[in-house]
Amino acid sequence: MAIGVIRETERRPLPFDKLGVIIAALALYGAFLAPFATFRANRIVQGEGKAILEALPPSLGYGLLAVVMFGAIVAVLRTSVLVRMAAAFVALVALCFLVGRAAGSLAPADNAYARVSPASGFWVLVLAFALLVADALTRLNPGPGLRLLFLAGALALIGAMLATGQWDGLSILKEYASRAETFWAEAGRHLTLALGSLAVATAFGLPLGILCHRVDRLRAAVLNVLNAIQTIPSIALFGILIAPLGWVATHVPGAQAIGVRGIGVAPAFVALFLYSLLPVVANTVVGLAGVPRAANDAARGLGMTEGQRLVRVEFPLAFPVILAGIRIVLVQNIGLATIAALIGGGGFGVFVFQGIGQTAMDLVLLGAVPTVLLAFMAAIVLDALIEVTGPKHSRGKAA
């Protein structure tokens, strides 16, 4: 009888959620032990951390603590997915709204030099409730359309905070205000480097991958070379390309007219193109190799030529795998394009390295935050597209 009771106890689920305990611990640490905002007399001096009750008026401070406590309790208990999602959403909206209020509360309105920025406690709280959202989404297992809807909602929240001026007092927005024109110019260069190199790599990589799939001996040689390129550090590859591109700019007529120089956009673009080739070529080879033999046999039986089989049968079946390689390239290029600023290539890295040189961390964030957001958005959108074009989705649609 005692053994049966012990076994029954072991089978009984715990009354709390294991991941929720970690989320609650992070939330409580961010709310009570870590500073919520950092105040600095100017943009380069060391800041002074302020707790939630120091950074906000009492009513708002205690209200935020109550929201955090409620979210922590919801995370720990085995609550429904919708309740967890709602609690996390309310907490994130409150954090986004109140961090802007903290800037107005800490910095005098007539002081143009004071800087207020989110501190570690704010970021820990955002991490905790973002984990709660991710956990709820995993349990909900939404389709690609719903995931894109959640992304649109998050972007709408950020856009609303920017449009209504709730974050205008934050130091990162003050850095932006003094560099708005430069910011959008560098944003254009960043996207040109990331998307342009991806487009050229796709145009070259797809035919090369098809050729490698058809010719075994060529496959080993090409993939080994591309693997070797992938091992070269990005800064080193940028430097290696300066000399040959400088020679081309000097000796090839018309090269400078189209922007080819030893420093600037050209070496950054070529380096990103070279880094992009391996995922595109390798995933093309893997995708084509994974096409079922029965599909090819059926296509031959219908009298299709090799080119028709490639276009109508093999490529559509391999497309989700190829698209996964393109996703890797795009996220990778968005991050690597930041390094291009070191050789005059522009992009968001301009603000990152300027901020490092001036010990102005808010200027660093002005370059780093949009880079992270772009990579995050690209990953979600392409993941949804991969799922839509995948065989499971196609079978479900056909059914």
Torsions phi, psi for 334 (to 5 deg): -60, -40
What is d(CA 19, CA 78) in angstroms, rounded to the nearest whole number?
A: 10
Q: What is the SS3 assignment for 35?
A: coil
Residue 170: per-residue pLDDT:
87
Residue 253: per-residue pLDDT:
74
Residue 11: per-residue pLDDT:
55
Class of domain 180-389 (CATH, top level): mainly alpha
Residue 93: per-residue pLDDT:
92
- The one-character DSSP state at 64 is H
The residues that bridge with 116 in the sheet, in sequence order, are: 39, 170
What is d(CA 100, CA 270) in angstroms, rounded to the nearest whole number?
A: 41
State the CB neighbour count (10 A cutoff) for residue 332. Answer: 18
Residue 398: per-residue pLDDT:
41
Residues of the chain with CATH 1.10.3720.10: 180-389
Residue 255: per-residue pLDDT:
67
pLDDT by residue, tens only, the chain of 399 residues: 545 545 544 555 657 788 889 999 999 999 999 999 988 877 777 778 889 999 899 999 999 999 999 999 999 998 888 899 999 999 999 999 999 888 888 877 666 677 888 999 999 999 999 999 988 888 888 888 888 888 888 889 888 888 888 888 888 888 888 888 999 999 999 999 999 999 999 999 999 999 988 888 888 888 899 999 888 888 888 788 877 777 777 767 766 666 677 777 788 888 899 999 999 999 999 988 888 888 777 877 777 777 788 878 888 888 889 999 999 999 999 998 998 888 888 889 999 998 888 877 888 889 999 999 999 999 989 888 888 876 655 444 444
Residue 191: per-residue pLDDT:
93
The token pair at 108 is 């005098």
Q: Is this prediction's pTM over 0.85?
A: no
57 Cβ contact list (under 8 Å, min separation 6): 101, 105
The token pair at 337 is 């394009």
